[in-house]
Structure 1
Amino acid sequence: MQRPLEGIRVLDLTVALAGPYGSLLLGGMGAEVIRVESPSGGDIARTNPPYVGDHGFHFGAPEEGDVSLTILNRARNKKSVTIDLKSAEGRALLLDLAKHADVVIENMSEGATGRLGVAYDDIAAVNPAIVYASIKAFGEPSIYPGTKGMDIIVQALSGIMDVTGFADGPPTRFGLPIADLLAPLYACNGILAALIQRGRTGKGQHVEVSMLDCLASLMAEEHFDIFSGAGYPTRSGNFTDRLVPFGVYETSDGHVAIVAFSPAWMRGLFETMGRPDILDDSRFATRGPRMKHASELNAMIQQWTRGHRTEEVVSLLIARQVPCGPVRTALEVLGDPRLRERGAVVELEHPRHGKVGATGMGLPIRFSAAQVGFDRPAEELGASNEAVFGGMLGLGAGEIAALKARGAI
């Protein structure tokens, strides 16, 4: 089957995670992604341990032929070319490539694209139909000048740490680089919307996404301002008091998540516990009083779950149609054969050694009439120089060699 984005060409000027994850998604949906990296070493992620090569995985200094596991994950379905954007020849080469592209995606630091001469206005001047996407930490110009846009800094400023963790504990970092992973999802939405609009108007545009904006917009999904004013803490740990019973409860061998806020689910839970009398207790009969006495109700439920194994709790509650599930470890999820069959997680491949026995991100979108996925391993730095500069721009082998000798590529 065809891929949804076949025929769309993307120039990828991104580094680290936020940008490369966005271009990874576009490549997985069929876009031709040409990743532009510095000839002096490429994406900083190429130096992330662990490395894998002739001698398997290791965390030491990289040896000849070793590739960072990070790159094997984030650079699939992309062609790698090298261009020194700080040189006049390199900038001219990039602008020539832009004439043949549909999309440019970048996540450079504030002001960098302008200094290099590859900002939206520069690209649009040679290709007015270009869709140019920028992923920034705090917008451009930044609303926090001088602040580095690292994921943990964005999490701190977004408020997500304030609502993560237990009420009597410190603010807690989300367990994944959520800002780096969320912003490219919005960027891809913006890119696809701009391509649709270009199909109607023939004109491209600049799409900008701020990592902080993305997290802050999600913060407003919960009405923390109103709940805080009523005396409820912003951090509630493993429980959501306004929906109690709703939370993670300890078992004799692990933990289980239970959701039972509807009358039918509550009855199923309490009858399974052998405590149908709880339904007649004025503290728990309706939602308002239940919120005020959430800690007492959660203690009753946890006393019961602690007396049973996780598997037993889940089996008993599913039989009563009460929503529940075991809290799985990261390794259990990454090794789940059902998730691998669906392509949510996949095995990574080295460009020369094949499958390496490590898990990578899949493309969790399924189409009825299109094929998606990551079927081409990450390329070594500059592996597509000849194919792209020769095939797309018509440069001869001598011209390409001369550009390399001068350090432009």
Structure 2
Amino acid sequence: MAGCSTGAPAPQPPPASAPPSEATPGPGAGQSPSPSPSPSPGGEAAGLLARMSLEDKVGQLFMIVVYGPRAGAAHQENTARYGVATPAEVVRRFRPGGVILFPWAGNISTAEQVAALTTGLRKASPLVPLMVGVDQENGEVARLGSLVTKLPGAPAIGRTRDPRLARDVARVTGEELRDLGIAVDFAPVADVSAKGSFIRSRAYGSDPKLVSAMVRAAVEGFHAAGVASVAKHFPGHGGTSVDSHQDLPVITYSKARWRRVDAPPFRAAIERGVDAIMTAHVAMPRLDPSGDPATLSRAVITGLLRGELGYDGVVVTDALDMAGVRKRYGDAEVAVRAILAGADLLLMPPDLPTAYQAVLTAVRSGRIPERRIDESVLRILRLKERRGVLGPTRTDPGGVKSAEHLKVARRVAAAIADAR
């Protein structure tokens, strides 16, 4: 997942229509046929979907970055990118499905500050409650730093060959995120790493059976904590040394090898009810000869993930500001093609107003049927409903680094030391 900050042109004014009590909307929408069933009636999520305007629905397709430590604090980067000054104003204008927090965006300093920020962001989104997420894999990727209990990353846990440790670490991580008002963790990494792999320092290992067991346990741990889990990066980022932040990796595995090596951990995650699966910005010509990255590939997302693996949960793209997905198409077309391929949630578009408007225009022109948008939005709303986002959310920043969590951290560290 990307952690870079890319520049963007000055935003254009969003469309004029807006729901009651909301500010004017922001950018785009999307469509494409898919084998997913039509949204079924009943349930809080379905009722909420029925009350949403097209602009509301398109907003739900985006998970964005906002700048600054407080919902009401002005930040020049928000003004430059979004045309409004504070994180709360960005949320009111664009009505995104979620916000992802980063230290480099000024979002993270103390536990109390993060809890106040997430609370303020949610208050700015009264129609459809906002989902706040973070990249907290532990180990190499740990955006919350010293705010939370220090826990080992996947490679160290994988060396113990004990899935119970993966479950415990995920549970502790999830409980601390929940205390900060964060509903989704972009973890676990489900990639099977090959020798020299870019993802090796973030993956559980190179044995598909072991990685599957660890991923299954981690999903259980996150769910025990009441936090959404995201398995990444489908169809597998383990077979390349190329960093998709910098370029588009090409992996030449056969489909048979993919089924044997890369698919099992994602199957395990699906069997355990993983909330979302993140796509990879990798091209796999034996899976899709078009040369497009998996994030933009209907053959990969709709064909393999939804069709062959039977997954009907949320599909989230890896960050759209990464070079691996921007190599062939502009930022507007990338957003539309990701939805057409079968993605539901578009993460970190580098130019949100342009991407939003592109999706909205594609829906209004018929390139993306509105029914296709409804499918994605319903998946996102059901995820929010399942993880308590649609109801009241309480924070408890004093709950992080609890005695019980520190005890788990010491026990896991001892098991890792014994495994060396």
TM interval, short-chain normalised: under 0.3
Larger Rg: 1
TM-score (norm 1): 0.26
The structure where strand makes up a greater share of residues is 1
The structure where helix makes up a greater share of residues is 2
Q: Which has the higher contact order (CA 8 A, sep 6+)?
A: 2
TM-score (norm 2): 0.26
